[in-house]
Structure 1
């Protein structure tokens, strides 16, 4: 995985400007060669992010506040995962209701979810409105709200047209988001796409009679602002999560002594190619972590990525010459190799390499082709620290 991360960093460098190694024009690739390499690099980068093509641009769409809050909970300002245990699974998707119904039936298109993904949890988010003016002073203080899965009686060999998923008491005079668990329904829809007939919401009094919908109202996709639309939130795992949990918290992994070796990246020029280190200067210094800022706008992805606008991938550079101090975080093998190299005991034995010895995941919040907002965690994207190996 370390080699994979290093090759990824190399690809990012290709997408930026070609470095001016000398003043001769022959050192620069032709325009056709440059475009060909850039195209190949962007294609490979999309594969790293699990995509064949970049999603369509949705510049005027606003992501749900819930997804923004979730992103800020699990990621820092650069998108680096704060704690891998905060998020259930490694992909979270939000789907808006496709029926645009008044407030009792909702349907969501889940075609963008791969069948290989494991459904961990699914939630129906409904925004409860306050009762209309004439019913504000109703003596009724609570109602029973139940969410049902609509069934196809032709497939179930039953006369039941719906299945209870979640039910609870909700204050009549409150306003805000209400969340209901609908995991069972989504799992059945993933197993059989044609069984997705939607969800049905029933509101009853404490005595069990039907409640006036003007008293217990939920926002609909047809008549209310986009920020209050009914939404299905789906938590899944595509099989990469187990590898991520083996890494350490990025905010605890780097020792204070090692942090002192890390140059500060100026926010005003956050570009990988703007760092002015000569090859000789870097190679003569001990193994260290250096900035490598990935700017999604420069790559051309800012139209569909919500957050982050870019992130610091970092890269490792410097010498691993004998003697290797503990600040270089050497392995025992690297220590032995450096000794063999220093004593010239065997021909052809090089010094150990300066490579990442901790890699952290980042989180990407973006729009997919169906205008759904997706929060996805990607493993091994940031060099957390460097060492001699």
Structure 2
């Protein structure tokens, strides 16, 4: 039973990979020469999971440390905005870039000062937008000064050098004193500098002044800290990036990972049977379910949402004549005619492949317990056609 389960996992990963490439699924006669055909179920499972991690752009899964903190509500809301219940992208234009991370403050100071560890951000990633999210609390007490002020000036500085008390203004705006809730400040320029040179990251300093420029009574305006207030209100840096891993680069990496020459035969009959079920091959080209269950493959410890998703796969014949219901390309129609009339030797029938692909979103914890929202292109076969 364990071998059958691992064979099914192998089959799922290979079909998932080919669905993401938009190419036809391999037949039972072919196998990846780099994929070891082994009777050892543990070796097969390890290799299959390694390939699936490659599809998601990872070398290793994040190391889980038991119970996680509650994910920031902002990240949960953002995920629900861009993805449906299965993680499929609702609208590709909703998200700026393809990666969003949230970072929590690493220091506690008497001043309103913050430091965020950005070591998980690769230097090759393009920083698009960075925001400081602060939760403004209610006033501690009613004082005469409270009625004299309705707005305050909040300034956010990049700390350039702790020893020289050198600061660079990043953002400045008026904030209502009598309201409570999240306030968001742009800090993009500082984060770009920090990701280029991590040694330049000395943190942020926030000051609060009256409109006249004098210090404000701390009882009038307070921001939540991670130490003294509920973790759902703690300061947070939200970073939008693009890692450049779009469809073209994904296709190249997967073609290299699953390069299947037409001459290589499968020697293991049980694995060959797991790769393909010919039961429906005589049916016309159509889309079939292909569910990827993250709990079943052992990833539920670090993936927050979704629990899994339906990648779908394409299977079936493309017989002559090709009807419009098979969504054929002009090239496929010509190829089908040439094959049917036997005008040229060695011309096969068109292949049943995805002709529309959707991206899928993962919300997960990384190695440093940061919550990451990442969008992966071409992971779901939206429809199938003869190409």
TM over 0.5: yes
SS of the residue corresponding to residue 384 of structure 1 reads: strand
Taking the aligned partners of 2:105 and 2:333, their CA distance within structure 1 comes to 60
Contact 1:316 1:356 in 2 (8 A): yes
Name the structure, 1 or 2, with higher relative contact order (CA <8 Å, separation 6+): 2
2:385 match: secondary structure: strand
Normalising by structure 2, we get a TM-score of 0.81
The normalised TM-score by structure 1 is: 0.80
Mapped contact 1:89–1:120 kept (Cα < 8 A): yes
Residues 206-244 of structure 1, C-alpha deviations (whole Å, 9 max, x = no match)? 111001122110000111111011000001111135869
Asked if 1:152 corresponds to 2:150, the answer is no
Q: 2:210 aligns with which of 188, 205, 208?
A: 205
Tell whether 2:353 aligns with 1:355: yes
Does structure 2 retain, via aligned residues, the 8 Å contact 1:102–1:222?
no
Match of 2:182 in 1: 177
- Matches of residues 159-308 of structure 1 in structure 2 within 5 Å? 161-241=166-246, 279-280=278-279, 282-308=280-306
Q: Distance in 1 between matches of 2:144 and 2:326?
A: 68
Which of 341, 366, 384 pairs up with 1:386? 384
Ranges in structure 2 where 5+ consecutive residues have no aligned partner:
1-11, 20-27, 29-35, 250-275
**How many matched pairs?**
333
> CA contact under 8 A between 1:102 and 1:220: conserved in structure 2?
no
For the residue of structure 2 that corresponds to 1:232, the secondary structure is strand
Contact 1:101-1:220 at 8 Å conserved across structures: no
1:39 to 46, 51, 58: 46
Whether the 8 Å CA contact 1:101–1:221 is kept in 2: the answer is: no
CA distance in 2, matches of 1:278, 1:189: 52
Is 2:146 aligned against 1:138?
Answer: yes
- How big is the alpha-carbon RMSD for the aligned residues of Structure 1 and Structure 2? 2.5
Rounded to whole Å, the distance in 2 between the matches of 1:214 and 1:62 is 29
Q: Is the CA contact (8 Å cut-off) linking 1:103 and 1:219 kept in structure 2?
A: no
Determine if contact 2:328/2:385 at 8 Å carries over to the other structure: yes
CA contact (8 A) 1:11 1:45 kept: no
Q: Which residue of 323, 326, 337 corresponds with 1:325?
A: 323
Q: Please tell me whether residue 127 in structure 1 is matched to residue 126 in structure 2.
A: no
